[in-house]
């Protein structure tokens, strides 16, 4: 399935190229290495591409691109993002697709999100849920990253008593930190547990004070006091109870990064390229291609929340 | 009983002062450390303070609805059997005397409703992440949210309570304005104590009380609806939820009023007082039976439908780590013991008073068992284990700071009640 995520026209070419390369490699192995030692003969088929590429390129004429020089999906998504940003906001439909077959459960997305949004202890936008299925020897582990679903029918925005959270023109569920009173009703209403409350904790609280203040809490917590850039504004944590402390916080598809033409932090950091992002209203986009597949599902679809996060099984 | 009552009165003064004093630490902790000392988190976002809020607001709505027995439904006397005599048209002297006693219970009920409302509002106000923004609830309300409706309904209820209480006390305040500057001030210039003026007061009281019945049902129903509408929490998401809230309010508020009447009611030890206590005790018993019926409906349907979402919460209540909160505190001391007292010892004032106190106090556990188990079931399997940090757990026990703040709010409400009873003409026989 890896190839299927690239441009559809290249798949056949790649396979043909691979086939040619493999054939050439076998030929080389058969002709050139017959007298070689047994160990070498066994090793040869395991590295056919490296050995056989020149022949493959020569033999398989229709090969349009080097299989190892395939375009990273990130490059494609960046390009599509630029295209989407040129459109009026209400015509974009931001969608996230998470390929569960590719997710290895490394939690790099979770950590990238914490770093990007300077999340304090207890606030998390995108944990990775882990589940062990089956018993030995038929056992596997399933990893489900869970960002905000950015539902098209969000139950969380309706319950807010002060208009502090809503779906913006891009279709992203946002929170106005200056308006939120911190009643946490929306947390109870989200069926995905995607909202967390900023209690005002610091990672460095309770750690020793340094003398002189080069080490220790007073210096180490500088990082924690830096402002994040959520919603395109500056939200420093001074240590008091100013917002976002005392507010409900959630994943916002890194709107502040999107505005600068950058993909969400979790997408760029995913080592397996399991998280895809883009404008589903663009029929040529990678996400539009992915969500049209039969093996796509959404969490708790029966609730009618219409999530914008899709999972590939 | 009169002597007991005054001794108990002193005991409760001490208790209230101690609760207020000890609880001050909880207030300090909330102000100095914000929410960091609280044990509720992001997966159980509502804890003791929300439970305390719906508990006390239920007491308020219940006590208020009891006051309407006097002001709206015109119950004027209770017989020695504790039953209600039909509203008398032409009152004999004795009946008029008794009506006055009942009206005092009406005032007591209104005042109880007011102080419990104050306690409830303090708990929920300090539960907010940004209490300084509470004004937004009133001025930037979203009426798509049940909570938005609730704010307006209880703001109206608060005003109505104040006006009703003032009207109920006005004649007495006017009569006392010669001796007391406070009473003179509180009449706000209306010192007409003629029979016509008092009849006018009663008429307005009756209209306000009728309005109040609707308002109290609407506003406490909306508190229940806050929970009932949350589809993400199957345990709450039921049309029965607002009804259970109302039944619970009537029961707990009535029970509290029964207890309060025993100690601070008119003429403890008199025949009228005994009749009154029997009357209140029998109403509470009826409400207890009704509440148990609704509880049975909720638990039996929820468990037998075998839908894991709802039954998981119910299993937690019945057989979870805190099973004793339900079985011992609620069923044992909140249902069985009071029922025995009210059925077999219904002629004893102390029995009705004890039953009332037990029901009223243990009802906090009913409220806790609504709020917490609904939240303590992870919405997605594995959510708890996915990321670690403060508040990212479904296990919840209130912290010391949370308990102390709650105790402070109860202490404050009790002190307002005790001081009010001294300085305001709520019950004037003891003056």
Look up the ipTM and state it. Answer: 0.91
Place of tokens 């009071």: B338
Q: How many domains does chain B have?
A: 1
Least confident of A24-28, A231-235, B278-282: A24-28
Contact B129, A160 (CB under 8 A): no
Global pTM value: 0.86
C-alpha to C-alpha distance for A257 and A279, rounded to whole angstroms: 15
A173/A150 Cα distance (integer angstroms): 6
The reply to whether B344 falls in a domain is: yes
Measured between CA atoms, the residue of chain A closest to residue B377 is: A193
Domains of chain A by start residue, with CATH: 3-69 (no CATH), 73-312 (3.30.70.20)
* pLDDT above 70 as % of chain A: 76
Q: Answer whether residue B29 is part of any domain.
A: no
The candidate with the shortest Cα–Cα distance to B22, out of B416, B413, B409, is B409
Q: Is residue B143 part of a domain?
A: yes
Mean pLDDT of chain A: 83
Geometric angle at alpha carbon B346, from B341 and B348, rounded to 5°: 90
Q: Using pLDDT thresholds of 50, 70 and 90, give the confidence band for residue A182.
A: very high
pLDDT at A295: 96
Q: What is the pLDDT of residue A212?
A: 60
Structure-model confidence comparison of residues A252 and A39, the more confident one: A252
B10 belongs to a structural domain = no
CA nearest A121 in B: which residue? B389
Give residue A53's pLDDT: 46
- Give the pLDDT mean for A106-133: 95
- What tokens does B87 get? 């509203």
With respect to residue B35, please indicate whether it lies within any of the assigned structural domains.
no
Please give the pLDDT value at position A3: 41
Binned at pLDDT 50, 70 and 90, residue A24 comes out as very low
Domain that holds residue B392: 54-114+128-398
What residues of chain B lie within 8 A of the CB of A124, using their CB?
Answer: 386-387, 389, 392
pLDDT at residue A33 greater than cutoff 50: no
Q: What is the pLDDT of residue B79?
A: 60
The token duo for B212 is 């109040």
| Pairing label, strands A128-135, A94-99 | unpaired
A199 or B96, which is more confident? A199
Average pLDDT of the segment spanning A164-188: 96
Chain A, 214 to 253: residues with Cβ < 8 Å from chain B are 241, 243, 245-248
Task: Determine the residue of chain A that is closest to B124 in CA distance.
Answer: A183
Q: Does residue A255 have a pLDDT over 50?
A: yes
**Residue to substitute from B30, B33, B42, interface A, most A β-carbons within 10 A:** B42
Please indicate, yes or no, if residue B25 is contained in any of the structural domains.
no
Note whether B34 contacts A200, CB cutoff 8 Å: yes
* Amino acid B395: pLDDT: 93
Q: Which of B114, B106, B248 is nearest to B169 (CA)?
A: B106
pLDDT band at A260 (very low <50, low <70, confident <90, very high): very high
As to burial, measured by CB atoms within 10 angstroms (0-12 exposed, 13-18 middle, 19+ buried), residue B52 is: buried
100-159 in A: which are within 8 Å (CB) of B? Answer: 110, 121-124, 127-131, 144, 146, 155, 158-159
B256 domain-assigned: yes
Length of chain B: 431
* Contact status of B191 with chain A (Cβ, < 8 Å): no
- Average pLDDT per consecutive 10 residues, chain B (431 residues; last block may be shorter): 78 96 96 93 96 96 90 67 49 52 82 96 96 95 95 93 90 81 80 82 88 92 96 94 96 96 86 87 95 95 82 92 96 97 92 96 96 93 92 95 97 96 73 35
Asked whether residue A39 carries a pLDDT value surpassing 90, the answer given is: no
| Closest residue in A to B231 (Cα–Cα) | A189
Percent of chain A beyond pLDDT 90?
A: 66
Specify the range with the lowest mean pLDDT, choosing from A100-104, A219-223, A291-295, B178-182.
A219-223
- Asked whether residue B409 is assigned to any structural domain, the reply reads no
Distance CA A178, CA A172 (A): 18
Question: What's the pLDDT score for residue B156?
Answer: 94
Residue A32 has pLDDT above 50, yes or no: no
Q: Which residue has the higher pLDDT, A69 or B424?
A: B424
């Amino acid at each position: 399935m890896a190839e299927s995520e690239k441009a559809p026209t290249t798949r056949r070419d790649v396979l043909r190229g691979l086939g040619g390369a493999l054939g050439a490699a076998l030929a080389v192995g058969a002709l050139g290495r017959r007298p070689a030692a047994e160990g070498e003969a066994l090793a040869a088929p395991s590295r056919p591409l490296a050995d056989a590429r020149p022949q493959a390129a020569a033999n398989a004429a229709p090969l349009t691109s080097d299989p190892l020089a395939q375009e990273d999906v990130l490059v494609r998504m960046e390009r599509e993002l630029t295209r989407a940003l040129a459109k009026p906001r209400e015509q974009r439909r931001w969608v996230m697709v998470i390929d569960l077959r590719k997710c290895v459960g490394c939690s790099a997305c979770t950590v990238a999100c914490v770093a990007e949004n300077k999340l304090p202890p207890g606030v998390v936008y995108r944990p990775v849920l882990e589940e062990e299925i089956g018993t030995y020897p038929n056992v596997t582990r399933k990893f489900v990253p869970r960002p905000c679903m950015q539902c098209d029918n969000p139950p969380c925005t309706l319950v807010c008593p002060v208009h502090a959270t809503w779906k913006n023109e891009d279709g992203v569920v946002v929170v106005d930190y200056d308006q939120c009173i911190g009643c946490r009703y929306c947390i109870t209403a989200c069926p995905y547990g995607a909202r967390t409350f900023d209690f005002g904790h610091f990672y460095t609280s309770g750690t020793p004070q340094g003398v002189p203040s080069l080490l220790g809490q007073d210096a180490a917590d500088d990082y924690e006091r830096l402002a994040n850039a959520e919603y395109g504004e500056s939200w420093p944590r001074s240590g008091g109870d100013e917002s976002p402390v005392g507010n409900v916080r959630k994943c916002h598809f890194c709107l502040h990064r999107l505005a600068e033409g950058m993909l969400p932090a979790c997408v760029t950091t995913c080592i397996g390229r399991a998280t895809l992002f883009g404008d589903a209203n663009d029929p040529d986009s990678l996400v539009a291609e992915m969500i049209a597949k039969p093996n796509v599902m959404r969490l708790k679809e029966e609730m009618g929340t219409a999530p914008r996060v899709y999972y590939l099984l | 009983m009169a002597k007991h009552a005054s001794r108990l009165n002193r005991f409760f003064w001490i208790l209230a002062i101690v609760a207020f004093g000890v609880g001050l630490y909880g207030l300090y902790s909330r102000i100095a450390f914000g929410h960091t000392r609280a044990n509720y988190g992001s997966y159980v976002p509502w804890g003791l303070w929300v439970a305390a809020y719906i508990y006390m607001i239920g007491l308020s709505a219940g006590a208020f609805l009891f006051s309407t027995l006097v002001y709206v439904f015109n119950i004027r006397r209770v017989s020695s059997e504790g039953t209600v005599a039909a509203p008398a048209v032409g009152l004999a002297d004795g009946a008029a005397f008794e009506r006055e006693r009942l009206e005092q219970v009406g005032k007591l009920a209104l005042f109880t409703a007011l102080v419990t409302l104050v306690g409830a509002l303090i708990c929920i106000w300090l539960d907010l992440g940004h209490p300084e923004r509470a004004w937004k609830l009133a001025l930037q309300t979203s009426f798509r949210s049940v909570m938005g409706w609730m704010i307006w309904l209880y703001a109206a209820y608060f005003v109505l309570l104040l006006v009703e209480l003032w009207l109920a006390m006005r004649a007495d305040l006017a009569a006392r304005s010669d001796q007391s500057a406070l009473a003179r001030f509180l009449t706000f210039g209306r010192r007409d104590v003629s029979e016509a003026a008092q009849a006018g007061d009663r008429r307005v009281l009756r209209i306000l009380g009728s309005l109040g019945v609707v308002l109290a049902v609407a506003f406490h129903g909306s508190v229940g609806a806050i929970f009932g509408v949350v589809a993400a929490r199957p345990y709450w998401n039921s049309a029965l939820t607002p009804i259970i809230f109302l039944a619970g309010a009537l029961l707990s508020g009535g029970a509290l009023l029964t207890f309060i009447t025993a100690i601070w009611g008119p003429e403890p030890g008199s025949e009228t007082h005994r009749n009154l206590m029997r009357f209140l005790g029998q109403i509470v018993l009826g409400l207890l039976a009704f509440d148990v019926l609704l509880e049975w409906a909720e638990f039996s349907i929820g468990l037998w439908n075998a839908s894991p979402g709802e039954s998981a919460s119910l299993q937690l209540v019945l057989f979870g780590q805190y099973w004793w909160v339900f079985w011992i505190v609620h069923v044992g001391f909140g249902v069985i013991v009071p029922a025995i007292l009210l059925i077999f010892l219904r002629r004893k004032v102390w029995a009705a008073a004890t039953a009332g106190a037990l029901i009223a106090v243990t009802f906090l556990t009913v409220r806790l068992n609504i709020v917490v188990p609904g939240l303590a079931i992870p919405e997605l399997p594995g959510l708890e284990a996915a990321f670690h940090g403060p508040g990212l757990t479904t296990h919840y026990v209130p912290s010391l700071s949370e308990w102390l703040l709650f105790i402070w709010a109860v202490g404050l409400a009790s002190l307002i009640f005790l001081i009010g009873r001294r300085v305001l003409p709520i019950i004037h026989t003891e003056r």
